[in-house]
Structure 1
Amino acid sequence: MNAAQSVDVVIVGAGFAGLKAAHDLVSQGHSVVVLEGRDRVGGRVFTGEVAGVKVDLGGTWVSHRHTAIREVAEQVGATLVPQFTTGRSVLSVGGKQSTYTGTIPKISPLALVNMGRIQLALDKLAKTIDVDAPWNSPRAAELDAISLEEWLGRKGARATTRALLTIVTKVEWGCRPSQVSLLHVLRTIRAFGGFDFMLDAEGGMQESRYVETTQGIAIRYAELLGDRVRTSAPVRRITQDGDGVTVSTDADQISAKYVIVTTSTEHRGGIEFEPSLSEPAQGLIKSWGLGALSKAFVAYDKPFWRANGLSGESATDTATVFATFDVSPSADGPGILMAFCDPIVFDAHAPEVRKDQVVKQLTDLFGPEAAQPIDYIDQRWNEDTFASGGPNPVVAPYASTRYGSVMAEPHGRIHWAGTETAGEWTGSMNGAVLSGQRAAADVAQLLAATETHGRKKAFS
């Protein structure tokens, strides 16, 4: 083990939360080290390549309301492009396939009324949620005691409504409606600015993406920090006493005044804490596990679906793929479809089988031209060592009211960040940046108080 180093703050994790916290602290003159277990920066944003085009294997989109992540991107000179939405989208539900424009598919009048009624009820309930502390919201215990699936049953949701909301839960939390608490769903809807905004591409959460990819932004942002960022340095143990903190990796021991941990809630469990975390904090780790979500990208010579009047967007309740988007660089090609895939029927198969599954389903959705791809790549997030699963935690009934309040509660000199700890925009890259900003401000205030106290003591 190398000789011990001493800094003001150690930051665990080099995703957007950790990098933002580091930048803010460095800008105020504090010394920091960022420790990342992976051999790369970015966390749950990751770049792949298909047909010579860089694509987002993880977090992808930003909205015009996502000012925090957009400021980071502007700082490193990233190029924003609108998500392609021109044309009709494809819906395949209950064995019937149709096309539509806008956010809500063209379904039968009865199904449309039912879906509208359920959406209105969700939005109405979401407005009652305290986004920073949903467990303190009116009726929190009642809303947290049932799953979204159970609530849909009570509200008389029809089969089409259930199918569409299953697609939503797969994308947002990597789970089925039966696995997630109604309170957690409502908190996300409130945090994202409403049900429509959460689902919309044009003007909504899926409004724009970056040419350089989101990990490309993280890489440039990390480069500004220089050798303060260390990859392939998984944190194994954090010990603390009244004087400071010691952070141990396989190769180093670093002393600090404070630590900011930005890992997902579940993966806090991979670190040994001394003294141990409280029982509620340990319950949080066990009950706020990440969902499961996989992605595939299929490339063609050109985005042929555009010539057929299609946007490349689709939603389906069958087989492997449950949603697609057009992420082609231009109309001239290559044409690239991003497909969200259900890990339950996808992850265990060999690469060629996974590819065949996806291509067959895209052919069903977009026609015979989809059967002739020129390239393919996929990402199974369940295989990720440091954040296995989906983009966000699957918070089952009772877990929010029992454990949520300790999410960002400091453990002595250890502070927490990461998108899960954000209020507004929790679960998004914007939320990650805001959480890093908040944790850095809290720690900077403590450092300033310590320095002031030290100066007073020196002259006393």
Structure 2
Amino acid sequence: MTTRTSRRAFLAGTAGAAAAVALPAAARAEADSAAVPSATADVAVVGAGLAGLTTARRLVAAGHSVVVLEARDRVGGRTLNHPIGDGKVAEAGGEFVGPTQDRIVALATEVGVGTFDAYDTGNNVYVNGLINLKYSDTGPLGTAPPDPLLLADIIKLSQQIDLMAANFPVATPWTAPNAARLDAETLETWVRANSVNAEGIVGLLRPFTEALVGAEPGDLSFLFVLAYVAAAGNATNPGTFERLFNVRGGAQQSRLIGGSQVVAQRVASALGDRVHLSTPVRRITQTATGVTVASDALTVDAAHVVVAIPPALAARIDYQPLLPAARDLLTQRLAMGALMKVEAVYPTPFWRAANLTGQFLTVGGPVGYSFDNSPPDGSPGVLAGFVGGAQNLKWGPKPLAERRAAVLAQFARMFGDNRYLSPTDYFEMDWTLEEWSRGGPTAIAGPGTLTGYGPALRGAVGRIHWAGTETSDYWQGYMDGAVRSGERAAAEVAAAF
């Protein structure tokens, strides 16, 4: 869950610290564990994002005792509400829900959180070099732009991807026909081999993948991309490229009233003192009869543990005995995407009066894709965008003032209105700088990862079980995937008792 830090730090500056250094390793570990309170439970859950909280909620409902250990000083994981005044919020993390995302919507309904339509009235803006178009997503291409130079390739490639993703083994993509071949190439190499205007299509894909997973087309295994598209559905509705990218009828169709983090907050409130914040887990020790989960603030003895955090963070926990090589090597290969969310607040969403949705797509940065992120009543106006992948690596290290000026200048340029240069507020969330996320919105798989190590993604290691959106069958990388993974993990653990 984090870098390995010696518990001797708790004793620094005291006479006991010098004595502890001289102790044998086993004696030091015993002394360290005695330095923090202890608890017992049927199940320990690591992480209080939607996956961990769903796991805990299901297990408590089944009659099991649960302790949830969360490193942050808040719940919600990669969902985060940002106050914008008058009790209203805009989401600085994950926020959208759409058709076939049944489990997050069901959970939200159960805790009294409703949905509202994302604003999608009017025209989108597309800028690519000399091409500057306004278009409606009610057309046959949906959110994809009707670029006359790329139109034939857009239609052809999206149809090919849908055909390849149909009847795809979403839970086990490494078993798909020709999986090894598909996993040996990237999205970029596949597109270059199957398009007429290869440079143009790869350029158009960049803002899509930068916003979607915080990475470039050349970073992504093509098998991973097919699995991601196939997962944009449910057991009765095959995933499609269009559903993954669209607002209208797609994954970005709706938002949660009160902000997405409120779902996690309400689940955590119902769990009460079972949830422990500011409690990063450092070590998990497994024996034949149980597990000991050691954190900075609490040590929990349990029959089972569910690790419900991103693979990159799960890799930072010290496991005793060591995890199987396949699981350890998998977590080393599932890097987090690089994503920053930038948002400007205005007195009103004045783009609506100009018959604009607030959505633009452009080749070049810093922002590749924007959307209207205003509250349900449209006041104030909030325009949000994504700085992902290579654009994040370029703009993230720059001073805030320089980055802010570049983002606002791009908003003004895309929509042709200098009012975008003067927001009443501006805020951003760079998820690569979040200690307990290390990136976002999800982990990505490069070539060879899924076929080489995929079976270790959700396979339990004795009494250690895995949850988190990356482990879901459907909608991995989304809030719905997080909830689904928690439900699966809870069922898996309950069956083990």
TM-score normalised over the length of structure 2: 0.88
- Amino acid across the alignment from 1:395: A
Q: Which residue of 1 aligns with 2:19?
A: none
- Amino acid across the alignment from 2:186: S
For 2:340 and 2:196, locate their aligned partners in 1 and report how far apart those are by CA, in whole Å. 28
- Amino acid across the alignment from 2:61: S
- Amino acid across the alignment from 1:354: R
Out of 159-168 and 36-45, give the one that drifted further: 159-168
Aligned equivalent of 1:362, options 404, 408, 411: 411
Deviations 1:170-198 (A, max 9, x none): 12221110111000000000001200001
3-state secondary structure, aligned to 1:305 = coil
Q: Note if contact 1:99-1:106 (Cα within 8 Å) is conserved in structure 2.
A: no
Q: Which residue of 2 aligns with 1:28?
A: 62
Alpha-carbon distance, 1:40 to partner = 0.6
Alpha-carbon distance, 1:373 to partner = 1.1
1:285 aligns with 2:331: yes
1:348 aligns with 2:397: yes
Q: Note if contact 1:51-1:299 (Cα within 8 Å) is conserved in structure 2.
A: no
Q: Which residue of 1 aligns with 2:78?
A: 44
- Amino acid across the alignment from 2:109: E
Aligned equivalent of 1:161, options 185, 189, 201: 201
Q: Note if contact 1:14-1:34 (Cα within 8 Å) is conserved in structure 2.
A: yes
For 1:236 and 1:329, locate their aligned partners in 2 and report how far apart those are by CA, in whole Å. 39
Q: Which residue of 2 aligns with 1:74?
A: 109
- Amino acid across the alignment from 1:161: I
Alpha-carbon distance, 1:330 to partner = 5.4
Q: Which residue of 1 aligns with 2:486?
A: 436
Q: Trace 1:18-417 onto structure 2 (pairs within 5 A).
A: 18-50=52-84, 52=86, 53-102=88-137, 103=142, 104-108=144-148, 110-158=149-197, 159-192=199-232, 193-329=239-375, 333-341=379-387, 342-366=391-415, 367-417=417-467
Alpha-carbon distance, 1:157 to partner = 4.7
Residue 136 to residue 183, structure 1, CA distance change in 2 (3 Å): same
Aligned equivalent of 2:48, options 14, 20, 24: 14
For 2:382 and 2:275, locate their aligned partners in 1 and report how far apart those are by CA, in whole Å. 33
3-state secondary structure, aligned to 2:153 = helix
- Amino acid across the alignment from 2:314: R
- Amino acid across the alignment from 1:175: A
3-state secondary structure, aligned to 2:96 = coil
For 1:182 and 1:362, locate their aligned partners in 2 and report how far apart those are by CA, in whole Å. 32
Alpha-carbon distance, 1:332 to partner = 5.6
3-state secondary structure, aligned to 2:359 = strand
- Amino acid across the alignment from 2:393: I
For 1:50 and 1:349, locate their aligned partners in 2 and report how far apart those are by CA, in whole Å. 25
Alpha-carbon distance, 1:243 to partner = 1.0
Q: Note if contact 1:81-1:209 (Cα within 8 Å) is conserved in structure 2.
A: yes
Q: Note if contact 1:118-1:157 (Cα within 8 Å) is conserved in structure 2.
A: no
3-state secondary structure, aligned to 2:200 = helix
3-state secondary structure, aligned to 1:238 = strand
Q: Note if contact 2:231-2:473 (Cα within 8 Å) is conserved in structure 1.
A: yes
Alpha-carbon distance, 1:350 to partner = 2.1
3-state secondary structure, aligned to 2:177 = coil
Q: Note if contact 1:89-1:99 (Cα within 8 Å) is conserved in structure 2.
A: yes
Q: Note if contact 1:135-1:400 (Cα within 8 Å) is conserved in structure 2.
A: yes
Q: Note if contact 2:37-2:297 (Cα within 8 Å) is conserved in structure 1.
A: no
Q: Note if contact 1:246-1:253 (Cα within 8 Å) is conserved in structure 2.
A: yes
3-state secondary structure, aligned to 1:304 = coil
Out of 62-71 and 20-29, give the one that drifted further: 62-71
Alpha-carbon distance, 1:412 to partner = 0.9
For 1:221 and 1:3, locate their aligned partners in 2 and report how far apart those are by CA, in whole Å. 25
Q: Note if contact 1:129-1:137 (Cα within 8 Å) is conserved in structure 2.
A: yes
- Amino acid across the alignment from 2:427: I
Deviations 1:9-34 (A, max 9, x none): 00000011110110111011110000
3-state secondary structure, aligned to 2:319 = strand
Residue 19 to residue 83, structure 1, CA distance change in 2 (3 Å): same
Q: Note if contact 2:187-2:221 (Cα within 8 Å) is conserved in structure 1.
A: yes
Residue 332 to residue 111, structure 1, CA distance change in 2 (3 Å): closer
Residue 359 to residue 51, structure 1, CA distance change in 2 (3 Å): farther
For structure 1, list consecutive stretches of 5 or more residues without a partner in the other structure: 448-460
Deviations 1:47-73 (A, max 9, x none): 112355311111110113222111211
For 1:5 and 1:173, locate their aligned partners in 2 and report how far apart those are by CA, in whole Å. 38
Aligned residue pairs total: 446
Give the root-mean-square deviation of aligned CA atoms. 1.3
For 1:332 and 1:148, locate their aligned partners in 2 and report how far apart those are by CA, in whole Å. 38
Residue 95 to residue 295, structure 1, CA distance change in 2 (3 Å): farther
- Amino acid across the alignment from 1:69: I
3-state secondary structure, aligned to 1:170 = helix
Q: Note if contact 1:262-1:417 (Cα within 8 Å) is conserved in structure 2.
A: yes
- Amino acid across the alignment from 1:166: R
3-state secondary structure, aligned to 2:351 = helix
- Amino acid across the alignment from 1:241: T
Residue 50 to residue 297, structure 1, CA distance change in 2 (3 Å): farther
Out of 159-168 and 60-69, give the one that drifted further: 159-168
- Amino acid across the alignment from 1:144: D
For 1:209 and 1:312, locate their aligned partners in 2 and report how far apart those are by CA, in whole Å. 15
